[in-house]
């Protein structure tokens, strides 16, 4: 019984205590009990361990799927983030190594000459002698105050934060790829529209010139037609420029050189609707946001660092031992009389440091408060992003309906204006004005469609990725 009690007491001493404050996930920033745009949400709390799938699959676009498949292996920013995570994992292993004793081995063979003017105590064996040494040293720090355990805990939490950072970057890159891709396809749609408009305006200019040359028109109408055509050509060229830049951005994301990279034009269908977002999406998706989880893990790391700083006030208790062989002659080196050994505890206490430890404790507490504030800010940003994109989808759907009506109305007005002009009942200025209104309405409709698609992507990103619905409509972007 006494032996068991002794072992239990020894285990308790070796386990020591931890001087870090008991960690609790900090309360998130104050928020309403539900989202304004969706009544079924609740407050976010980090829980990002749930698996994520290829969320971009909800758009049912094979070309987007193929581009997304290239990111993991080819994107250089993502590869750099993977390397940073590997560094964090190595640092955790480095900190954990302190749990074990350090063993070093040393062997040497030296010949030494002592100065004749040295003190006699150093020259008693003669001015010249050999020294053959073979020994091993063992040292072990007893973690009485939890310094090592808190160091490991901080490193592990930082590693988990780095893992969250990697997921954040992966989600951001894939979201950026999706938005760039839809931008490209929307520009293809606008390009097709402008190219048709250039052809129509060229025909209108030809008609106006014929009327002028036949005496039925005025030169001012010809000049207006020319200006209108050149303006449309300028818009078409600018759209080509923006498409090229979007294509280059996609090339970088998938780890390809912009030179030689090309995606064939494929306009978005004007009637395309983005995948519907169910207002009853589970709030667990918001809880799985990797940036919220990473921010919470940094709070935990800062909390553990407080324990490390506190432990500096207490002495460091260590055990050390050494054993080996030493002789002045090689012939007697590996013999029993040449054995040496030592064993014993050590206690190191800092008596005066000029306020160093106090400053380190203050710095650790301030770092903790900083991480708590950053965590709450991250949660607030998460709420904002979800609200922004839920609102965007709702209002853009209304805009799409009204703009579709505007497109229809301007097309009808243009048809009537052309009839009136050909019949001599309207001036060419009326035709020009109506044509510009019709073109603006169609370009606006294309822009609203793009914003709806991108708002859907950004909502998925705001929810932490992995958005999957149990039942989805067969939405095709073809």
pLDDT recorded at residue 191: 96
- The domain total for the chain is 1
Q: Give domain status of residue 469, yes or no.
A: no
For the beta carbon of residue 157, count every other beta carbon within 10 angstroms: 23
Q: Give domain status of residue 341, yes or no.
A: no
Q: Give domain status of residue 150, yes or no.
A: yes
Question: Read out DSSP for 387-416?
Answer: HHHHHHHHHHHHHHHHHHHHHHHHHHHHHH
CB contact at 8 A, 451 and 391: no
Rg (CA), the chain: 37
pLDDT recorded at residue 286: 58
SS3 content of the chain, % helix, strand, coil (to 5): 60, 10, 30
Q: Give domain status of residue 174, yes or no.
A: yes
Check which CATH number belongs to the domain holding 303 and give it.
Answer: 1.20.1600.10
Phi/psi zone of residue 285: left (φ > 0), alpha (ψ -120 to 50 degrees), beta? alpha
pLDDT recorded at residue 278: 55
Q: Give domain status of residue 323, yes or no.
A: no
- For 56, 165, 418, 439, the CA distances from 201, given in Å and listed in that order, are 39, 52, 12, 11
pLDDT recorded at residue 140: 93
49 lies in which domain range? Answer: 14-103+143-314+356-462
Q: Give domain status of residue 217, yes or no.
A: yes
Q: Give domain status of residue 249, yes or no.
A: yes
Question: Read out DSSP for 413-454?
Answer: HHHHHHHHHHTTSS-HHHHHHHHHHHHHHHHHHHHHHHHHHH
pLDDT recorded at residue 284: 55
Q: Give the residue from 281, 203, 192, 229 showing the smallest Cα distance to 463.
A: 281
Q: Give domain status of residue 72, yes or no.
A: yes
- Residue 152 structure tokens: 């490991």
pLDDT means per 10 residues, the chain with 478 residues, are: 46 61 73 51 47 79 93 90 94 94 94 76 63 93 92 95 93 95 96 94 89 83 91 96 97 93 92 69 63 92 95 93 90 88 92 94 96 90 88 94 94 87 77 89 95 93 67 36
- Residue 284 structure tokens: 């667990």
């Amino acid at each position: 019984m006494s032996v068991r009690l002794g072992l239990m007491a020894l285990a308790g001493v070796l386990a020591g205590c931890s001087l870090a404050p008991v960690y609790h996930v900090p309360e998130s920033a104050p928020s309403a009990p539900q989202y304004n745009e969706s009544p079924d949400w609740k407050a976010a709390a980090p829980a990002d361990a749930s698996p994520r799938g290829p969320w971009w699959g909800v758009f049912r676009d094979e070309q987007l799927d193929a581009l997304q498949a290239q990111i993991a292996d080819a994107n250089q920013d993502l590869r750099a983030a993977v390397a940073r995570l590997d560094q964090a994992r190595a640092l955790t292993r480095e900190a954990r190594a302190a749990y074990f004793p350090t063993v070093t081995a040393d062997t040497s063979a030296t010949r030494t000459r002592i100065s004749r003017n040295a003190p006699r105590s150093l020259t008693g064996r003669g001015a010249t002698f050999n020294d053959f040494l073979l020994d091993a040293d063992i040292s072990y720090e007893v973690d009485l105050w939890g310094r090592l355990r808190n160091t490991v805990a901080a490193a592990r939490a930082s590693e988990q934060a780095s893992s969250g950072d990697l997921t954040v970057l992966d989600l951001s890159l894939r979201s950026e790829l999706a938005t760039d891709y839809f931008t490209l396809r929307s520009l293809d749609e606008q390009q097709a529209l402008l190219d048709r408009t250039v052809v129509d305006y060229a025909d209108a200019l030809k008609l106006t010139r014929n009327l002028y040359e036949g005496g039925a028109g005025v030169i001012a109408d010809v000049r207006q037609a020319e200006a209108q055509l050149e303006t449309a050509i300028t818009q078409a060229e600018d759209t080509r420029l923006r498409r090229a830049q979007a294509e280059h951005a996609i090339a970088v994301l998938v780890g390809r050189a912009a030179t030689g990279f090309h995606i064939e034009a494929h306009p978005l269908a004007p009637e395309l609707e983005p995948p519907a977002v169910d207002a009853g999406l589970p709030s667990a998706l918001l809880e799985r946001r990797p940036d919220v989880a990473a921010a919470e893990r940094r709070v935990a790391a800062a909390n553990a660092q407080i324990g490390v700083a506190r432990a500096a006030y207490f002495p460091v208790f260590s055990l050390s031992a050494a054993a080996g062989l030493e002789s002045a002659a090689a012939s007697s080196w590996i013999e029993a009389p040449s054995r040496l050994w030592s064993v014993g505890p050590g206690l190191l206490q800092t008596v005066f440091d000029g306020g160093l430890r106090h400053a380190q404790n203050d710095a650790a507490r301030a770092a903790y408060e900083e991480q708590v504030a950053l965590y709450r800010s991250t949660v607030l940003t998460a709420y904002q992003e979800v609200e922004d994109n839920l609102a965007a989808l709702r209002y853009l759907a209304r805009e799409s309906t009204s703009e579709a009506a505007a497109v229809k109305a301007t097309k009808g007005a243009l048809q009537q204006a052309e009839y009136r002009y050909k019949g001599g009942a309207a001036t060419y200025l009326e035709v020009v004005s109506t044509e510009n209104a019709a073109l603006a309405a169609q370009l606006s409709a294309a822009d609203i469609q793009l914003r709806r698609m991108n708002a859907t992507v950004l909502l998925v990103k705001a929810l932490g990725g992995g958005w999957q619905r149990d039942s989805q409509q067969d939405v095709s972007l073809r």
